Amino acid sequence: MTFPLRRSPRHRHTPSTPCTSSCWRPQLLQPDEIEPLLINFWARRGESAQRLAAAGRSNTGAQARDAMHMQSMASFVRQMFIDAGLDPHDVLLDHSVPGFYRRSKEWDVVAMRRGHLVGVVELKSQESSPGNNANNRIEEAVGSAVDAHTFQEYSGLYGDLGVWAAWCMTFNLNCEGGSPIGYKFNRVPLFPVDQEFEPMTYASQYATAIQRFIATNVYNAAWMLTTWVNPDKSIGYNEPVPTATAATLRTQIEARVHFALQVLG
């Protein structure tokens, strides 16, 4: 589809619209909902590594593209949209929407209502080699948000609700030692570094980025999980960003869906 470059009203900041109606209340997250997701995450990650190794494709890139370990996470987030009131047929997994700087972008969850885009969600994980990939993940996250907002700003083809996007990261704490990360080849930046990043681990850099995604409206919602395997093989997890937990993600999704239903019926 070709469209003229026109400036529609800016949708760069599309905050979730809170519900003031007495007919709607946020659903509380049950305390046992996250642990099964992580049990599946670690189990599927092990299966994926074994399968790719058998096929001679055990490198980190192949594991990232395999992504079977994130399916339960994506289904969990999809269900949030459905529980909030969208028709299951309108909440899709692994579907693409058109972009401005690229032809299209595939999102892990795409929610629609009467032909209008309600929301898109990307779910990423960092299981190994953060030194090679962490910066790229953050750059890609910013780029995906800018691409979607710019497409809507110039075309309006996503519909009347503007862009609502969420970004989720599951980080394996076992893949880094927890010690502060130095500069590559000891090349200190030419200008003063934001002290929020000093000292820095890859997990803390993700946490700072995600907190700022929310604070600056790059993303409307987010979720960060850090997870690890204990010596007794039990699985631990933490949600280090207060504004980016499963509970806050659900609240934001419910508010967005309620807004969409009010506007579109």
Convert the pLDDT of each residue in 100-155 to its tens digit.
Answer: 999 999 999 999 999 999 999 999 998 877 777 889 999 999 999 999 999 999 99
Q: How large is the average pLDDT for residues 208-226?
A: 97
| Backbone φ, ψ for residue 122 (5° rounding) | -115, 135
Dist CA 203 CA 170 (whole Å): 10
Dist CA 156 CA 149 (whole Å): 10
Query: Which of helix, strand or coil describes residue 91?
Result: strand
- Residue of 102, 104, 85, 84 whose CA lies nearest to 94: 104
| Residue 68: C-alpha distances to residues 30, 40, 130, 168 (Å) | 24, 10, 19, 16
Q: Which residues pair with 105 in a beta bridge?
A: 97
- Residue of 72, 19, 10 whose CA lies nearest to 246: 72
Distant-in-sequence, close-in-space partners of 130: CB < 8 Å, separation ≥ 6 = 171, 175, 176, 202
**Residue 154 CB neighbour total at 10 angstroms:** 15
Q: Which residues pair with 86 in a beta bridge?
A: none
Say whether pLDDT at 202 is over 50.
yes
Q: What dihedral angle (degrees, nearest 10) is formed by the CA atoms of 145, 150, 151, 154?
A: 160
Tokens 């280090």 appear where? 240
Q: By percentage, how much of the chain surpasses pLDDT 70?
A: 80
Q: Which residues pair with 85 in a beta bridge?
A: none
Tokens of 25: 């209340």
Say whether pLDDT at 66 is over 50.
no
Q: What angle do CA 9, 11, 14 make, to 5 degrees?
A: 140
Task: Tell me the CB-side half-sphere exposure of residue 216, using CA atoms within 13 A.
Answer: 10
H or E element at residue 121: strand 116-126
pLDDT of residue 17: 42
pLDDT of residue 132: 74
- Residue of 76, 239, 221 whose CA lies nearest to 173: 239
* Lowest-pLDDT choice from 60-69, 143-152, 181-190: 60-69
Instruction: Kindly report whether the global pTM for this prediction surpasses the value 0.85.
Output: no
Question: CB of 253 within 8 A of CB of 231?
Answer: no
